[in-house]
Amino acid sequence: MAFNPDGRTLATADENGTVRLWDSATGRTQRTLTSHNGAVTSVAFNPDGRTLATAGTDDIVRLWDSATGRIRRILTGHKGDVEAVAFSPDGRTLATGGDDRTVRLWDTTGRTRRILTGHKGIVYSVAFSPDGRTLATGGIDGTVRLWDPATGRTRRILTDQKDDVGAVAFSPDGRTLATAADGDTVRLWDPATGRTRSILTGHKGDVVAVAFSPDGRTLATGDDDGTVRLWDPATGRAQRILTGHKGDVYSVAFSPDGKTLATAGGDDTVRLWDPATGRTRRILTSHKDSAWSVAFSPDGRTLATSSADHTVRLWDLAAGRTRETLTVNESVTSMEFSPTKRALATGDEGGTVRLWDPATGRTRTTLTGHKLYVAAVAFSPDGKTLATASEDGTVRLWDAKSPGREDAIKKICQAVGRDLSAKERSQYLADRSRRACPS
């Protein structure tokens, strides 16, 4: 049971999946809510009384308009019964706890902006153009789609690929799109016309990763025969072949200055290369299973790596040591830092997308909606939109804006019922890991 903050309405829930809203003055039923498919285990009103959260044994949390009885939102992600729900004092966060031994904090502003449909199967890859006006996606149907992220409409469909498209990447100037497919080839397209500029051949296995260097003069590709190739996009010729991985190469990424290339492989290792010489600079070996993905922070000081061992590691590249280890319930299959470095987005095999604070290693927001594993994530250049691609055949555009430190301070002020002193404010800004209200 739970009272609305104004005291006029009482919500009650039962084992039959029914929630009832009662007039507490008269004892009469105002409304009956019946969407749950199992017992309702917890109910909670948000502080303004306009939203009612309900949780049940159907693994789902529902947000209702308490005035009309209509469902505002359905939150999915828990892998078992959801036993408890609670709103934060400012109403911006909902906490849920379940039988899957997890507590989830939901950002009620982290809504799916748009779902892009059109691919006929799994969507493996996603990339924004440098100006943010075009989104490229590739999938198992052998097509590459160019979308207008503002409207969700398909601008162009590239159909010359005959095999699964496992990776896509725009050149820094946005004039070239590289796509990799299972057919051992990489294609360079003119995204403005949809025409193939050149086809790069030489790999002996399926190409699953592509990345342009920051200056656009080099294209790195990785495949399942364990090799990485460096190409000149202008001529289509191979510049260098990097060997060392003992299994598939799943991900490639250049550092922001272009002087380091990171690769992740099925041999459980991440390798750092000098792309100018092709020599291995360092081998990172802390993961206990296949390394899936690599991503550099915008300042180049941190490298994020993910693995089938259900961890994400944040490395201090200067020291060559793990600075933070993030543990999740599923293998993280894709990652990217936001342009501001304030967030790291991860997508996992369970279909969940998380936004982390790289400074503290804590989850900021959990985004749910995909039904199958998330194969790729990408931030728009301005950092305001996050695109995710999934095995469920959809691409989702999310509002990636998260509260800044000043917003966090405002929340703390609201929680303690007073303004922070200059000293407290200074301490909070200096220590971003601090999340508790000042005493």
Q: What pLDDT does 264 receive?
A: 95
Structure tokens at 334: 């894709």
Check: pTM over 0.85? Answer yes or no.
Answer: no
Matching fold, domains 2-108 and 113-399:
yes
Among 22, 29, 28, residue whose Cα is nearest residue 4: 22
**Cβ–Cβ < 8 Å for 162, 142:** yes
**Cβ–Cβ < 8 Å for 354, 106:** no
Pseudo-torsion of CA 415, 386, 74, 31, nearest 10°? Answer: 60
- Express each pLDDT in 366-400 by its tens digit: 888 888 889 999 999 988 899 999 888 889 989 87
C-alpha torsion sign, points 14, 17, 22, 24: positive
- Express each pLDDT in 115-155 by its tens digit: 677 888 777 888 888 888 888 888 888 889 998 887 888 89
60 vs 100, residue with greater confidence: 60
Q: What pLDDT does 434 receive?
A: 38
CATH architecture of the region 113-399: 7 Propeller (2.130)
Fold of 2-108: Methylamine Dehydrogenase; Chain H (2.130.10)
**Cβ–Cβ < 8 Å for 210, 221:** yes
The helix or strand, by DSSP H or E, that contains position 422, with its residue range, turns out to be helix 422-430
- At 234, is the secondary structure helix, strand, or coil? coil
pLDDT band at residue 438 under the 50/70/90 scheme: very low
pLDDT of 409 > 80? The answer is: no
- Express each pLDDT in 37-64 by its tens digit: 888 888 888 888 889 999 888 888 889 9
Q: How confident is the model over 144-170, as a mean pLDDT? A: 85
**How many CA atoms lie less than 13 Å away from 235 in the CB half-sphere?**
6
- Express each pLDDT in 297-310 by its tens digit: 999 999 999 999 99
User: Where are the domains positioned within the chain?
Assistant: 2-108, 113-399
Structure tokens at 54: 């309900």
**Cβ–Cβ < 8 Å for 147, 155:** yes
pLDDT of 424 > 70? The answer is: no
What percentage of the chain has pLDDT greater than the value 90?
41
Cα 128 to Cα 135: distance, rounded to the nearest angstrom: 5
pLDDT band at residue 431 under the 50/70/90 scheme: very low
- Express each pLDDT in 247-285 by its tens digit: 899 999 999 999 999 999 999 999 999 999 999 999 998
Can you list the positions of beta strands (E) in 171-205?
177-181, 185-190, 195-201
pLDDT of 78 > 50? The answer is: yes
